[in-house]
Structure formats: structure tokens, C-alpha cells
Amino acid sequence: MQLIQSGTRSLGFLLSLNWDRFLYFGMLALCLALSAYVASVTFANPFIL
């Protein structure tokens, strides 16, 4: 039980240190997905944009 508590405590500490990296990669993935969607719509109907 003590091992589980210390593991979750250290995981929470790592997340508190690196929250900006998760935000960075999340936004990067969102932008890539959005640009892929816009590109697919543009190739399907080039008169939209």
C-alpha cells in the first residue's frame, strides 16, 4: 500500500512539473488534426477556401 501511495505521489509531482509539456503536445496534436481536416475538405471541394 505504501508503494502505491508513493508511486501516485511521485506521478502527481511529475505531472505538476511537466504540465506545460502536456499542454504543448496536446495543442500540437489538435492543430495537426485540424489542419488535416481543413486539407481534406479543401481537396474534396477546392472552391470552399
Select the more confidently predicted residue: 3 or 22. 22
pLDDT at 35 over 90: yes
40 has pLDDT over 80: yes
Quote the pLDDT of residue 24: 92
- At 11-34, the pLDDT tens digits run 788 778 878 888 899 999 999 999
The domain limits of the chain are 19-49
Overall pTM > 0.95: no
24-8-13-31 Cα dihedral, nearest 10 degrees: 0
